[in-house]
Amino acid sequence: MKRVDLILSERELDAVIKAIEAAGAPGYSVMRHVTGKGPHGAVSEAMDFSGLGANAHVIVFCEPPLLPRLREGIQPLLDYYGGVAYVSEADPL
Amino acid sequence: MDTSLVLQNLLTPPVLFFFLGVLAVLVGSDLEIPAPLPKLFSLYLLLAIGFKGGLELQHSGVGGPVLPTIAAAVAMSLLVPLYSFAVLRLKLDGFNAAAIAATYGSISAVTFITAESFLETQKLHFDGFMVAALALMESPAIVVGLLLVKLAAPKPAQQRPDPQSMRWGAVLHEALLNSSVFLLVGSLVIGFLVAGSSPHSVEKMLPFTDKLFYGVLSFFLLDMGIVAAQRLTDLRRAGTFLIAFSVLMPLFNALVGALIARALGLDPGNALLFVVLCASASYIAVPAAMRMTVPEANPSFYISTALGLTFPFNIIVGIPLYMALVNKLLPAAA
């Protein structure tokens, strides 16, 4: 089992979720209002009123064969808008 | 300029609460408005101003200066990004220049609302159709911004990796149906319909749209003070050119706006609102749209200039200054 962690702007969350669903992932979890620091400085909720919110953290657990399809859908979005994604091993409890 | 105008503007609760927000950041207070509240306040302000504008539009009708004023407003929102872009290209790349130009072509609803409050303190009349101008000035600049990127940005713009977001359908959807334009226009239409067909229901809405309005505006400006002060660091990073642009471009736009208002024969209240629309810059609708269409542009440039400098400048000094300009240029005002 693999775990994919994505950190991206909430603004692009819908597009990334679409790509995850299109890849056939069995499910995902989303944490909104993620703050921190990015290449353009602090990431905060200060501009939430304008629709430019903070970041989101998306976690996907999937089998290894799904990874290429996930990469194909998500990588162009991250390249264009920014954001990071990392894959790690996940062992069931 | 009459300094009493500046003082009268400064000593109003919304402007003083704005200063309080700025002060909170400067002295390191832990004052913080929870994130959902400013969003709620901004939606409330758009709903209330749209609804009230619709009521007044029903009473005033669409004759006289209404259509020419709206047409002039839309023309300005197309024109301002073009000459702003030409100026910005002196120092910036095509992406950043286009995003900032679009920001200055669009408008700030909160500056408009603050100007309305100023007119009320001056007991000057203004009409509901100016809200229609406000609503219609928001979107064209976004479209012009994207055109500028397509036409004038460096070559890699032609090979951008996600053509999906550059499709006209997606851009027009964002420009015309973003939440602030949608709510403002929708509330305007509802106000217009209700004023004609169901006056008793207007009475029921008034405690919400009228009585709470000033307090909510003050609370929202408290948050804007905090956000604007937090942007001051970014502004320093933006450099002298952008800092000068954030003050001089609104002044130039105000002058052009005042001359157009004079040509249209607007009365002083409507003229001030027209000038404020021309001189303000968007920090709600356009930044969100630019993030989608021009992610290559640095958001700290177009947000910090519009919110960190132009917005405070307009609500503190700009509005009384523009009033003085209107009084000087409009024969009726004197």
The confidence band for B155, taking pLDDT boundaries of 50, 70 and 90, is low
pLDDT over threshold 90, residue B248:
yes
Q: Do residue B161 and residue A79 have CB atoms under 8 angstroms apart?
A: yes
| Mean local confidence (pLDDT), A28-52 | 86
The confidence score (pLDDT) of residue B278 equals 97
What's the rounded Cα separation, in Å, for the pair B106 and B118? 21
The confidence score (pLDDT) of residue B235 equals 77
Residue B259 in contact with residue B329, Cβ under 8 Å? Answer: yes
| Mean local confidence (pLDDT), B150-179 | 65
Phi, psi of B12 (to 5 degrees): -115, 150
pLDDT over threshold 80, residue A83:
yes
Cβ atoms within 10 Å of A56's Cβ, excluding its own: 21
The confidence score (pLDDT) of residue B1 equals 60
pLDDT over threshold 60, residue B209:
yes
Run of H or E including A31: strand A29-34
CB within 8 Å of chain B, chain A residues 13-32: none
The confidence score (pLDDT) of residue B332 equals 62
What's the rounded Cα separation, in Å, for the pair B212 and B207? 7
A40, A52, A54: residue with CB nearest B298? A40
Amino acid at A44: S
What's the rounded Cα separation, in Å, for the pair B150 and B167? 11
The confidence score (pLDDT) of residue B334 equals 52
Residues in A touching B162 (Cβ below 8 Å) = 76-77, 80-81
The confidence score (pLDDT) of residue A39 equals 76
Q: Do residue B295 and residue A76 have CB atoms under 8 angstroms apart?
A: no
Residue A48 in contact with residue B36, Cβ under 8 Å? Answer: yes
pLDDT 10s digits, B93-149: 889 999 999 999 999 999 999 999 999 988 999 998 898 899 889 889 988 988 888
pLDDT over threshold 80, residue B39:
yes
The two structure tokens encoding residue B116: 């309305």
The confidence score (pLDDT) of residue A70 equals 96
* Residue to test with chain A: of B46, B95, B160, B227, most A Cβ within 10 A: B227
Cβ atoms within 10 Å of B172's Cβ, excluding its own: 14
| Cβ-Cβ contacts under 8 Å for A28 (sequence gap 6 or more) | A17, A20, A58, A59, A60
pTM of the model: 0.85
The per-residue pLDDT of chain B, averaged, comes to 88
The confidence score (pLDDT) of residue B105 equals 94
The confidence score (pLDDT) of residue B289 equals 83
Q: Do residue B295 and residue A82 have CB atoms under 8 angstroms apart?
A: yes
pLDDT 10s digits, A9-31: 998 899 999 999 999 999 999 99
Q: Do residue A40 and residue B299 have CB atoms under 8 angstroms apart?
A: yes
Taking each helix axis from N to C end, the angle separating B109-121 and B319-329, rounded to the nearest 10 degrees, works out to: 60
Distance from CA of A21 to the nearest CA of B (A): 18
The confidence score (pLDDT) of residue B160 equals 54
B125 burial level (CB within 10 Å; 0-12, 13-18, 19+): exposed
Query: Could you tell me the CA-to-CA distances from B3 to A56, B7, B18, B188, B224 in Å, in that order?
Result: 48, 6, 20, 35, 25
| Mean local confidence (pLDDT), B65-91 | 94
Question: Three-class SS of residue B62?
Answer: coil
B41, B226, B291: residue with CB nearest A52? B291
Q: What is the DSSP letter of A43?
A: E
